[in-house]
A and B are shown apart, each in its own frame.
Chain A
Amino acid sequence: MIALDWYLALSAILFTIGVIGVLTRKNAIVIFMCAELMLNAVNLSLVSFSAHLGDVHGQILVFFSLCVAAAEAAVGLAIIIAIFRNNLSVDITRINLLRW
C-alpha cells in the first residue's frame, strides 16, 4: 500500500504545475486548461484523503467538482469564442481594453 503522503505530494506537484501554467501562458484556452489541471490535482487529493479516512464524502465531493468543472468549461469556452469574435485573438496580453 502506498502511503498517503505520496498521493498528496503528487497532487501538490500537479497543482503547482497548473498554477505555473496559468501564470506563464498567454493563450486563454491554455490558461483555462491549466486551471482545470489544478482542479484535477485537487480531485486526486480528495480521493486519496477519502480512501485514507475510509469516508465516502470526499469522493462525492469529487463528483460535484467534476460537474462544476464541466459547467465552467461550457461557459468558459463560450466566453472565449465571444472574445475571439471581437478581437480575432485569444492572447490575453492583447486583451487589455479595461485597465488602470
Chain B
Amino acid sequence: MESISQLLHFFPLIIVTIGSLVVMMVDAFSKDTAKLYYLSVFFLIAALAASISDVFGPAGEAFYGMAVYGGTSAMGGVIVLLGTLFVVLLCKEYLTAIKHHVGEVYSLILFCTVGMLVLVTANDLVTLFLGVETMSIALYVLAGLIKRDKAGAEAALKYFLLGAFATGFFLYGIALLYGAAGSTQLTAIAEVTDGGLIYWGGLAMLLVGIFFKISAVPFHMWTPDVYQGAPTLITAYMATASKAAVIVALIILLGRAFPDIHSDWAEVFQVIAVLTMILGNVIALVQDNMKRMLAYSSIAHVGYIMVGLVAGTAAGYSGVMYYLFAYTIMNVGAFGVVAYYERQKGLDFTNMENYGGLGYKQPMFGVAMSIFMFSLAGIPPFAGFIGKYQVFAAAVYEGYIGLVLVGVITSVIGVYYYIRVLVYLYMREPESDTVFQQPGMVYKTAILVLAIMTIYFGIQPGALSEIFTQGFEQLQIMAATGR
C-alpha cells in the first residue's frame, strides 16, 4: 500500500506515460495528426502543472529507494517538460511545412520524455540505466525521422551505433559499481569510498556513459553530425531536454552516490570541462552551418555547466540547474527561429551565408534571435549570463580559479560566433528576395514567450535560483539522514 500512495509523487511521469500510450493508440486508429498534437500538448501541460506543484511539495525517496521525488528532481522535471512542451508547440507547423507531419513523432517524443522523467528521479543505477535507454532509443528514431533524407538517416545511424557503444561502457560501469558496493542504490554506493580497481573502474565507465550523453569532449563526436542531420526541432529537443535530464541525473548521482570522493571526480571533470570549453568554442568559430554551429555551442555550454559541477557545492549545483533552465529556453528559441528560416524556399537557410538581412524580413524573429544569441553568449541582462555567472562564481568560491579563467576566456571567444549571426541578420544585404511565409500564431507566440522568458529570468532570477538552491539542500538532507 505504501508504494501506491507514493505514486502520488510521480504524477508528471504517470501523466506523460499515459499520454504517450493514448497518443500511440489514437495514432493507430486515426488519420488526423492534428488531434495528436492537441492531445500531446494537453498531456504535457498537465504534466508541467503537476511538476511545478511538486517543486513546492515534499521531497523524499520512494519505491524502496529506487526513485527520489521533489526538490531537484521536480525542478529537473519542470525544465524537461518546459523544453518538451515548447518543442511540441513549434513542431506541428515546422513538420507540416517540411511535409513530415507524421503521427509517430508525438508518441515518440512523449516516450522519450518518459525516459527523461525517469532519469531525473533516478536514485538507483537500475533506474538511471532504464531512464537513459528509454530516452535514447526514442531519440535514435526521432533523429532518423525523415527516412529518405540521406543526412537524416546518417545522423540516426551514427547516433545509434555510438550510442550503443557508449551504453556498453555505461552498463559495465553499473555492473562494476554493483560488484564493489553490493547494491545499486546510490546511498549504498556512497558508503563505499574506495573499493579498489573495481570501484574506480566502475566509476570511470559510468562517467564515460554520462559524458557521452551530455556530449563532453572527447565523447562529443556524434553531436555535430547528429544535430546537423536531424530535423531542426528534434535537434532542439535533443540539445535541451535530453541534456538537461541527464545532467540533473548526474547532479543527483554525484550528490548522493559520490559526495565523499568529490576531490577525485572533480579532477576528471576539470580536465574534461577544459577540453570541452576550448574545443567546443574554437571549432564553432569556423562553422557556417547554423545547426552545426549551435551543436558546437551546445558542447561549449556543457563545458560551462561542468565548471559548476566541479564546485560540488549547493551553490554550484543550483547554478547548474539555473543554467539548464536558461539554456533550455534560449536554445529552444534559437532553434525555433532557425527552423522558421529553414522552411523557407529558395536558399538553404541553415547556411549562415544566406542569413543576410533576414532580421528585417520578420522583425519579431530577428529581435528574438538577437536576444537568444546575446543570452547564449552570456551577455547581461539575459538569462544565459545569470547561469554562467552563478556556475563560475561557485567554482571560484571553491578555489578553482584557473578553471574559471579558461571558462571566461573561452566564452569571450564564443561571443564571436554568436555576434556573427547578428551581423549577418542585420548588417548584410539580403542574398535573395524570397518572400517569407508568415509564421502561425502559435509559432510566433511561442518564440515571443521564450524571448520574454530569456529577458525576464535575466532581470529577475532571484526567486528561481532560490528555489533551485533549496531543492538541492533538500536532497542533501535526505542523503545525510539516509532516508
Touch between A and B in complex, CB under 8 Å?
Answer: yes
Task: Report whether A45 and B172 are in contact in the complex, using a CB–CB cutoff of 8 Å.
Answer: yes
Q: Cβ of B15 < 8 Å from any Cβ of A?
A: no
In the assembled complex, the Cα of A87 lies from the Cα of B140 at a distance in Å of: 19
A62 to chain B, nearest CB (A): 9
Contacts of A8 in B (CB 8 A): 179, 198
The segment out of B85-93, B142-150, B440-448 that lies at the interface is: B142-150
In the assembled complex, the Cα of A22 lies from the Cα of B168 at a distance in Å of: 11
Beyond A45-B172, A83-B157, A95-B157, is A32–B164 a contact (Cβ under 8 Å)?
yes
Task: Report whether B151 and A58 are in contact in the complex, using a CB–CB cutoff of 8 Å.
Answer: no
The number of residue pairs between A and B whose CB atoms lie closer than 8 Å in the complex comes to 133
Task: Report whether A22 and B126 are in contact in the complex, using a CB–CB cutoff of 8 Å.
Answer: no
Contacts of A22 in B (CB 8 A): 161, 165
Q: Cβ of A53 < 8 Å from any Cβ of B?
A: yes
Task: Report whether B126 and A61 are in contact in the complex, using a CB–CB cutoff of 8 Å.
Answer: yes
Q: Which residues of B in the span 313-339 have a Cβ within 8 Å of any Cβ on A?
A: none
Contacts of B224 in A (CB 8 A): 98
In the assembled complex, the Cα of A95 lies from the Cα of B151 at a distance in Å of: 9
Task: Report whether B168 and A86 are in contact in the complex, using a CB–CB cutoff of 8 Å.
Answer: no
Q: Which residue of B lies closest to A61 (CB)?
A: B126
Q: Cβ of B156 < 8 Å from any Cβ of A?
A: yes
Q: Cβ of A71 < 8 Å from any Cβ of B?
A: yes
Q: Cβ of A3 < 8 Å from any Cβ of B?
A: no
The interface bits of chain B over 109-137 (1 if a CB of A lies within 8 angstroms of the residue's CB, else 0) are: 00000000000000001100110010001
Contacts of B140 in A (CB 8 A): 75-76, 79
Beyond A49-B175, A82-B147, is A71–B157 a contact (Cβ under 8 Å)?
no
Beyond A76-B140, A76-B164, is A98–B178 a contact (Cβ under 8 Å)?
no
Task: Report whether A32 and B161 are in contact in the complex, using a CB–CB cutoff of 8 Å.
Answer: yes
Beyond A18-B168, A75-B140, is A86–B153 a contact (Cβ under 8 Å)?
yes
Q: Which residues of A in the span 62-100 have a Cβ within 8 Å of any Cβ on B?
A: 64-65, 68, 71-72, 75-76, 78-80, 82-83, 85-87, 92, 95-99
In the assembled complex, the Cα of A45 lies from the Cα of B175 at a distance in Å of: 7
Instruction: Number of B interface residues at 8 Å Cβ cutoff, please give it.
Output: 42
Contacts of B154 in A (CB 8 A): 83, 86, 95-98
In the assembled complex, the Cα of A99 lies from the Cα of B165 at a distance in Å of: 20
B350 to chain A, nearest CB (A): 12
Task: Report whether A46 and B175 are in contact in the complex, using a CB–CB cutoff of 8 Å.
Answer: yes
Contacts of B167 in A (CB 8 A): 35, 39, 68, 72
Q: Which residue of B lies closest to A15 (CB)?
A: B172
Q: Cβ of B74 < 8 Å from any Cβ of A?
A: no
Contacts of A87 in B (CB 8 A): 150, 153
Judged by DSSP, the binding face of A is helix
In the assembled complex, the Cα of A72 lies from the Cα of B163 at a distance in Å of: 10
In the assembled complex, the Cα of A78 lies from the Cα of B160 at a distance in Å of: 11
Q: Cβ of B96 < 8 Å from any Cβ of A?
A: no
Task: Report whether B157 and A35 are in contact in the complex, using a CB–CB cutoff of 8 Å.
Answer: no
B231 to chain A, nearest CB (A): 14
Q: Cβ of B354 < 8 Å from any Cβ of A?
A: no
Contacts of B58 in A (CB 8 A): none
Task: Report whether B129 and A35 are in contact in the complex, using a CB–CB cutoff of 8 Å.
Answer: no
Using a CB–CB cutoff of 8 Å, the interface residues on chain A facing chain B are: 8, 15, 18-19, 22, 28, 31-32, 35-36, 38-39, 41-42, 45-46, 49, 52-53, 55, 57-58, 60-61, 64-65, 68, 71-72, 75-76, 78-80, 82-83, 85-87, 92, 95-99
Using a CB–CB cutoff of 8 Å, the interface residues on chain B facing chain A are: 125-126, 129-130, 133, 137, 140-141, 144, 147-151, 153-158, 160-161, 164-165, 167-169, 171-172, 174-176, 178-179, 182-184, 198, 224-225, 228-229
A-B contact pairs, 29 of them (CB 8 A): A8-B179, A8-B198, A15-B172, A31-B165, A32-B164, A35-B168, A38-B168, A42-B168, A42-B172, A46-B175, A53-B179, A55-B183, A57-B178, A57-B184, A58-B175, A61-B129, A61-B174, A72-B137, A72-B164, A76-B161, A79-B140, A82-B153, A85-B147, A92-B161, A95-B154, A96-B154, A97-B150, A97-B154, A98-B228
